Amino acid sequence: MYSRDTVAYQPLPLPDRSDLTPEQSLKAAQAFYDQMRRRHSVRDFSDARVDEAIIASCIRAAGTAPSGANHQPWHFVAISDPAMKAQIRAAAEKEEEAFYAGGGGDEWLKALEPIGTGAEKPHLTTAPWLIVVFAQRYGMTTDGHRYKNYYVPESVGIATGMLITALHQAGLSCLTHTPNPMKFLNDLCDRPESEKPTMILVVGHPAADATVPAVAKIKKPLDQILTVCRPKE
């Protein structure tokens, strides 16, 4: 955390340690992959209630993410208010209509065809929660001093990934949504100018008739996403 006072480095013994054998480690890694491959982005949500405590616990987990200089340059606004969700949907659909009318460009629109997306975003009002992710471009102390944050996109990206994982671990589904422009979210969520909205996570339980695009199940094989540089013999 940033402080205007001089804070000296103070090493602490590693407070938590996981001493697994190689076999246990591999088993744990494989089990985690098996669970994460069951994560799906859905657009068909149930309106079933999700306790606020669950959302708060998942955001608390996201807050443990590493960040540049440990400044933790993120803020999450969890929205269950129907009126606020309706405003977000109206603003998002206005922009999406222009996008799908040709504003997105032919290449982008063609890339989206197998995904089956369109201008209508009913999930923004059906799902019980929307989580708006804000990136703190710079920080402000209580006495009005402005300070620099470091590696903000990287830090917020890591925290958001951890949040998505935590939501999946809690048995929930989510959808990443990035309306453009998103500046209205600062006023709607009462967040300062120093923060930039980067993403909305639509969160809840999938509808009974929820579907996913078949193409979404096609993932790059390991040999296309992994390069191993071994010692030369």
Contact in structure between 24 and 93 (CB atoms under 8 Å)? no
pLDDT tens string 104-154: 899 989 999 999 999 999 999 999 999 999 999 999 888 888 999 999 999
**What is the domain partition of the chain in residue ranges?**
41-210
CATH topology classification for 41-210:
NADH Oxidase (3.40.109)
Q: 152-169 and 52-62 are packed helices; what angle lies between their axes, rounded to 10 degrees?
A: 140
pTM higher than 0.85 for the full model?
A: yes
Query: Which element (helix H / strand E) includes 201?
Result: strand 195-204
Closest-CA residue to 198 (of 67, 69, 74, 62): 74
Contact in structure between 156 and 74 (CB atoms under 8 Å)? yes
Closest-CA residue to 125 (of 151, 177, 89, 90): 89
Q: Rounded to 5 degrees, what angle do the CA atoms 90, 94, 97 make?
A: 135
Q: What are the tokens at 186? A: 């600062």
What is the full per-residue pLDDT of the chain (233 aa) written as tens digits? 777 777 889 999 999 999 999 999 999 999 999 999 999 999 999 999 999 999 999 999 999 999 999 999 999 999 999 999 999 999 999 989 998 998 989 998 999 999 999 999 999 999 999 999 999 999 988 888 899 999 999 999 999 999 999 999 999 999 999 978 888 999 999 999 999 999 999 999 999 999 999 999 999 999 999 999 999 98
Residue with tokens 């959302």: 55
Rounded CA-CA distance 2/128 in Å is 34
Residue with tokens 């078949």: 214
